[in-house]
């Protein structure tokens, strides 16, 4: 089966005209100083305390009601610009987001690269932190596959390097039997070596992993450490109603080793925003997760989130994002599909819930049955 991940990069990588992008906010933005940013792990990379996820951009397999058109393209562009206007300049994408492999309409990396280029033409001084991810597909073997995929991503993004490159999930294919398990472990080691090679070749500023359990996280940290390369981050599903990273040792390990935890689905794919009700659940595949029955059980928590938000003049979305940031060593990356969402996310910064409210929300959330996460988290 052919894999269409490179999006037909027709130019030789070494000859493509590219730009180096980092994150800096102008004086007019909400986030104004280096103190408003956080370092990712032991790396030198600093990013805004909240980023933007670009999973939905160009996607037609999970988001956007299986459709992508010019209106949604313009909305995504407005989300990008509004985020930058608010000083949120950390964007997370992946080679599989919107790709043909995942039955998407247009690759999210391609869109992000286009948005950055257009923004730079209007405002050359602004710089953006870009994070993207390597897909550990079963036919990808060894460290060179990481470098090859990274160069394809850079071609789509129109950049000479990215700030953060992550392994999207661990190599978990073909693990039946001792011989296959041995090959699997070799691939795991090769992928990590590929990250180290990317740093040494100047293709990335920092490296991370995603969906790694405690054991795999420690192994990756140790292997990179032997080369003097810090493991900057582990991107996992983490929200007020999905706290597996707290339960399986991942959050504790990140804190212990100095690895930043990047939280995807931090508003539970919209379930924590108060937008959805038992009478009006989300559409598409999300409806299979956030069912009317689940949303009924969630209502007491949503009601309390709204009450707390009113005391601060904040929306439920801003409250739950602030709750995550208050856990410390956590960078949430909610997905923004339009200008209004991006502007709302920025309102999660610059204030803090009280310790009592943080404890209360955790207690109320514990009464809600957890939703299903990404299976590889438990492997």
Q: What percent of the chain has pLDDT over 90?
A: 69
Query: pLDDT digit string (tens) for 11-64?
Result: 433 433 434 333 333 333 455 556 689 999 999 999 999 999 998 888 777 766
The 3 state secondary structure assigned to the chain is: CCCCCCCCCCCCHHHCCCECCCCECCCCCCCCCHHHEEECCCCCCEEECCCEECCCCCCCCCCHHHCCCHHHHHHHHHHHHHHHHCCCCEEECCCCCCCCCCCCCCCHHHHHHHHHHHHHHHCCCCECEEEEEECCCCCCCHHHHHHHHHHHHHHHHCECCEEEEEECCCCCCCCCCHHHHHHHHHHHHHHHHHHHHHHHCCCEEEEEEECCCHHHHHHHHHHHHCCCCCEEEEEEECECCECHHHHCCHHHHHHHHCCEEEEECCCHHHCCCCCCECCECCCCCHHHHCCHHHHHHHHHHHHHHHHHHHHHCCCHHHHHHHHHHCCCCEEECCECCCHHHHHHHHCCCCCCCCHHHHHHHHHHHCCCCCCCCCHHHHC
Q: What is the mean pLDDT of residues 216-235?
A: 97
Q: What percent of the chain has pLDDT over 70?
A: 82
Which one is catalytic: 62, 97, 238, 312?
Answer: 97
Q: Is the pLDDT reported for residue 5 higher than 50?
A: no
Query: pLDDT digit string (tens) for 121-143?
Result: 999 999 899 999 999 988 898 89
Mean pLDDT, the chain, integer: 86
Tokens read off for 336: 């923004």
Active site residue 97: yes
Q: Where is mean pLDDT largest: 30-44, 90-104, 141-155, 171-185?
A: 141-155
Query: pLDDT digit string (tens) for 245-272?
Result: 999 999 999 999 999 999 999 999 999 9
The pLDDT assigned to 101 comes to: 65
Determine contact, residues 129/47, Cβ cutoff 8 Å.
yes
């Amino acid at each position: 089966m052919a894999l269409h991940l490179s999006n037909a990069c027709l130019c030789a990588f070494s000859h493509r005209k590219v730009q180096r992008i980092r994150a800096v906010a102008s004086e007019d933005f909400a986030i104004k100083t280096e103190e408003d940013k956080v370092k990712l792990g032991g790396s030198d990379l600093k990013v805004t305390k909240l980023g933007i996820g670009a999973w939905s951009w160009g996607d037609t397999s999970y988001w956007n009601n299986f459709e992508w058109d010019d209106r949604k393209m313009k909305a995504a562009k407005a989300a990008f610009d509004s985020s930058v206007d608010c000083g949120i300049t950390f964007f997370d994408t992946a080679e599989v987001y919107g790709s043909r492999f995942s039955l998407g309409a247009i690759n999210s990396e391609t869109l992000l690269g286009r948005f950055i280029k257009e923004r730079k033409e209007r405002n050359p001084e602004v710089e953006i932190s870009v994070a993207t991810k390597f897909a550990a597909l079963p036919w990808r073997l060894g460290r060179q596959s990481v470098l090859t995929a990274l160069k394809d991503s850079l071609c789509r993004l129109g950049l000479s390097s990215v700030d953060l490159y992550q392994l999207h999930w661990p190599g978990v294919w073909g693990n039946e039997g001792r011989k296959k398990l041995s090959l699997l472990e070799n691939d795991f080691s090769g992928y990590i070596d590929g990250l180290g090679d990317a740093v040494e070749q100047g293709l990335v500023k920092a490296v991370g992993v995603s969906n790694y359990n405690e054991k795999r996280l420690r192994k990756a940290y140790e292997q990179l450490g032997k080369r003097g390369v810090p493991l900057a981050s582990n991107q996992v599903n983490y929200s007020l109603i999905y706290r597996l990273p707290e339960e399986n040792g991942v959050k504790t390990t990140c804190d212990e080793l100095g690895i930043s935890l990047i939280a995807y689905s931090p508003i539970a794919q919209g379930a924590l925003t108060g937008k959805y009700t038992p009478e009006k659940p989300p559409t598409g595949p999300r409806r299979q997760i956030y069912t009317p029955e689940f949303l009924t059980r969630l209502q007491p928590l949503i009601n309390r989130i709204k009450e707390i938000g009113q005391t601060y003049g904040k929306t439920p979305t801003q409250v739950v994002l602030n709750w995550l940031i208050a856990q410390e060593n956590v960078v949430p990356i909610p997905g923004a599909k339009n200008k209004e969402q991006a502007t709302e996310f920025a309102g999660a910064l610059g204030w803090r819930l009280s310790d009592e409210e943080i404890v209360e929300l955790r207690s109320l959330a514990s009464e809600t049955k957890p939703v299903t996460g990404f299976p590889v988290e438990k492997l």
